[in-house]
Amino acid sequence: MAFFASLGAMFFSLPALSLAVSAAFMLLMCGLILYQTSEMIHGGETNYIMATVTLYVALFNLFTSLLQLLGFFAGED
């Protein structure tokens, strides 16, 4: 559902929808970072390479979503 919302925001140029998708994706990535870190600390994750890659991708996605939000509030398109 979020994928179709992001496609709709991109093709129809709806800034409010783009803002909502970026904010929701940011919250999702924050939750994933917290979950993955908890799994690594408490020993639930045994594949450390996959856990590291997952954390890296989540941080990258969080950063790009944050850049989109800051660009929106700065007035950039």
Q: What is the pTM of this model?
A: 0.74
Q: What tokens were used for 57?
A: 């991708």
Place of tokens 């979503």: 65
pLDDT score recorded for residue 22 = 85
Helices (H), the chain: 2-12, 15-41, 48-74
pLDDT tens per residue, range 12-45: 777 777 788 888 989 999 999 999 999 888 887 7
pLDDT at 11 over 90: no
pLDDT at 68 over 70: yes
In whole angstroms, give the CA distance from residue 3 to residue 9.
10
